[in-house]
Structure 1
């Protein structure tokens, strides 16, 4: 529960800062007058959130800070927030929505350090992934030639594993949604701190033994001595009222893969819990598909602070790419853009290209095996010959758009790969047209691809069968050999001319003479028996 300064201790000893003469004198007086506060009665928790210009406490700065004070039960008793002039770039305005103009007349950190200290002193420091916030606070205090004491801390991110088990992601919005806590404006310091305070109140009110132990933390925090720093009297500046955010552009392939990524699965694969927090920050840094040198340095710094070894980081990178691969194959196909983004991420994380191919194959095998476990056995009266199998490719052309979209969704849910073209490995083309003259229809005739009506397809996808199993125990989607996808239909009493007429009327492609395809015979039998 006690905060560890980690590498910041070394930095504090080495750090020197050029200050204006006035600021230097003021700080000198402030430091000279530092004393340590006396023990006090337990005050509760100080929920902290900072918005920053980047990920590295060494090079980046705080641009906004908020503190929400609570009692020992997590009930809010006071709030405070201000923008902070970082004396430099504000970072990604697209994330925190703070511009250079917003902070131009805001107080500097040295101006607010006295008031901030007054609000933190004697309280348990709490936040969501609070170590991130604390590392920036340690750095900002050091720039002001001050040092924070050892702190009693509580992290709603880390504690969510106990209070909110079973989540795939543990970002602040994820935990708030699971706990029923309102989060109105993510990446605004005060709103994030309010939300984290709401999580704290839910945790402490859960009635568990862990909650009871966390309620005792303020007693420990009250025994910590804090420096007495006079307030500068500087006016705070609150960010402007939130305006409706612009309509975002359609998410690229990487952003779509990162959305709702099951990062918590890292723990199932044996990764240390600290690696999950590292990967959360990695995912946020990669949302724009770029990893800058500063972001890479900040990630390396975070890994050291979290106690991760090089082997831990390499393993986390490999698992991260595997999770992206799993997400990419979840709909049964990997688009060219998704594959390009996966290769880009792999290159940024020094994961070899051949590993990406292996990971995609591994993810695909997992996907096929998972869906194969839930297949229904074929009924005794099955009359459609060779069934479809998990992982096979199907295509659609023509027909009513709503019904077609519904069939495509059902096909994906059944474990089929819905493709935008027809090739020699396509198992089936679904179309209501008597003679599909689209490119897909022409390709189906060229390759001998099986062509069926939507009504028949609807019946077949209910009984999609498991993919064949390899000798190594893995399942692999079965390729289709043209000309061998026909149906073994039972005897049909109707004359060929009757069946041909029915087939043409219902969109099947049949010649004027010769043997009728077995799938057409079977479909005719089912249709006439059921009244389709």
Structure 2
């Protein structure tokens, strides 16, 4: 499930403007998809992100008009969302306005929290999808994000024991039906794809600097607020409220801001160059996160150690690279041998084939070493060598 919203505070005045639901079988197979835009009865908030227009919502149902069908779709199922606390808050906020109580707590799963354990790396949706080569084109549209989350869930299930999910499936309650008007759902058509700027593109690649699930959710909310390089009073209050709710103290917030800023700088220098546009964005983020100006200037200086580290990473090659028994290897692209054959051969030789790119992976083997696949991009972000199938053949079979 995924909501697009007018803002961050369903408990106050923010409302849902789009909703998508995807059904999956217990093995992760996708079996159904539904989506609708929603008339929130107020202004639409960040239209530059979600792309819903006032003209569209004039014909859209209010939340009360789709609530009966939505409860039917959720009843007896585990609700899965990426940063589930955000989407569940909006679900609760909208249903509370209707005076509805489901009769039992929802069974829920947060794929962002699961990613912190299963991927050991960035936990944003785009980051997780890249690790598994799941396409995410047109993010910030509810149907796109919900479908990608469902595919991510399937990848998690496929790469773990089925028994790990059984208790969660058995906990899903039947919900009390909502007896309201059933209005047709209205899907968006012909929406121009969202075009992220430098800051959002680089945010998608920043390694996870949080130490707890709660800190990860704080950073996820913070990133939503940073996209336009401006923190409104509503956004500041939402961040303060979330930090207070999770017991994240001032010193921890300051450390999160500091670590996040340095990770942003490190990625900006990864190609050895920080352009003027990138520099402007980084300075803006530094100011919003209350990073000392001299620290910001030092990280962007020509003699900055982060510049030297970026140049060193840029010059890395696989010459002299040697694999060791137990190393994790990821395959991507269509190779001359079936992937299952290569995976079986790698296991015979003592290596561990993996479906996703994490920081623990030692090597990525691509049908095309210049591949633009999500897995290849993640490997470059993490400084993991990428080789072609020919290198694998000559090294392992030569």
For 1:100, the equivalent position in structure 2 comes to: 54
Q: CA deviation at 1:80?
A: 2.2
Q: CA deviation at 1:359?
A: 5.2
Assess, with a 3 A threshold, how the Cα gap between structure 1 residues 255 and 188 changes in structure 2: closer, same or farther: closer
Q: Provide, for residues 475-502 of structure 1, a one-character-per-residue CA deviation record: whole Å limited to 9, x for no partner.
A: xxxxxxxxxxxxxxxxxxxxxxxxxxxx
One of 64, 67, 77 as aligned partner of 1:123: 77
Which SS does the other structure have where 1:304 is aligned?
Answer: helix
Q: CA deviation at 1:255?
A: 5.1
For 1:228, the equivalent position in structure 2 comes to: 177
One of 102, 109, 112 as aligned partner of 1:154: 109
Gaps of 5+ in 1: 1-47, 376-532
Q: CA deviation at 1:121?
A: 1.5
Contact 2:298 2:304 in 1 (8 A): no
Gaps of 5+ in 2: 317-398
For 1:72, the equivalent position in structure 2 comes to: 26
Higher deviation after alignment, 335-344 or 52-61: 335-344
Assess, with a 3 A threshold, how the Cα gap between structure 1 residues 336 and 176 changes in structure 2: closer, same or farther: closer
Matches within 5 A, 1:337-352: 338-352=278-292
For 2:379, the equivalent position in structure 1 comes to: none
Assess, with a 3 A threshold, how the Cα gap between structure 1 residues 76 and 324 changes in structure 2: closer, same or farther: closer
Q: Aligned equivalents of 1:363 and 1:67: distance in 2?
A: 50
Q: Provide, for residues 316-373 of structure 1, a one-character-per-residue CA deviation record: whole Å limited to 9, x for no partner.
A: 1111222233234445565565554433323222333234345557993355368679
Contact 1:123 1:218 in 2 (8 A): yes
| Count of residue pairs the alignment pairs up | 314
Q: Provide, for residues 506-525 of structure 1, a one-character-per-residue CA deviation record: whole Å limited to 9, x for no partner.
A: xxxxxxxxxxxxxxxxxxxx
Which SS does the other structure have where 2:230 is aligned?
Answer: coil
Assess, with a 3 A threshold, how the Cα gap between structure 1 residues 362 and 295 changes in structure 2: closer, same or farther: farther
Contact 2:266 2:310 in 1 (8 A): no
Q: Provide, for residues 117-146 of structure 1, a one-character-per-residue CA deviation record: whole Å limited to 9, x for no partner.
A: 111122111111111100111111111122
Matched, 1:294 2:247: no
Q: TM-score when scaled to structure 1?
A: 0.53
For 1:41, the equivalent position in structure 2 comes to: none
Q: TM-score when scaled to structure 2?
A: 0.69
Which SS does the other structure have where 2:23 is aligned?
Answer: strand
Contact 2:229 2:288 in 1 (8 A): no
Q: Aligned equivalents of 1:229 and 1:367: distance in 2?
A: 58
Q: Provide, for residues 202-253 of structure 1, a one-character-per-residue CA deviation record: whole Å limited to 9, x for no partner.
A: 22122x34x42213312111xx35323224122222212345x48x59x46x
Matches within 5 A, 1:487-506: none
Matched, 1:192 2:145: yes
Which SS does the other structure have where 2:190 is aligned?
Answer: coil
Contact 1:73 1:215 in 2 (8 A): no
Q: CA deviation at 1:303?
A: 2.8
Q: Aligned equivalents of 1:80 and 1:178: distance in 2?
A: 26
For 2:222, the equivalent position in structure 1 comes to: 282
Q: Aligned equivalents of 2:31 and 2:22: distance in 1?
A: 8
Contact 1:124 1:153 in 2 (8 A): yes
One of 194, 211, 218 as aligned partner of 2:169: 218
Higher RCO (C-alpha 8 Å, min separation 6): 2
Q: CA deviation at 1:56?
A: 2.0
For 2:124, the equivalent position in structure 1 comes to: 171
Contact 2:38 2:63 in 1 (8 A): yes
Contact 1:322 1:360 in 2 (8 A): no
Q: Aligned equivalents of 2:93 and 2:59: distance in 1?
A: 22
Which SS does the other structure have where 2:154 is aligned?
Answer: helix
Which SS does the other structure have where 1:216 is aligned?
Answer: helix
Contact 1:111 1:232 in 2 (8 A): yes
For 2:212, the equivalent position in structure 1 comes to: 272
Structure possessing the higher radius of gyration over alpha carbons = 1
Q: Aligned equivalents of 2:274 and 2:94: distance in 1?
A: 45
Q: Aligned equivalents of 2:166 and 2:307: distance in 1?
A: 44
Q: Aligned equivalents of 1:112 and 1:363: distance in 2?
A: 58
For 2:319, the equivalent position in structure 1 comes to: none
Which SS does the other structure have where 2:49 is aligned?
Answer: helix
* Aligned-residue RMSD, C-alpha: 3.1
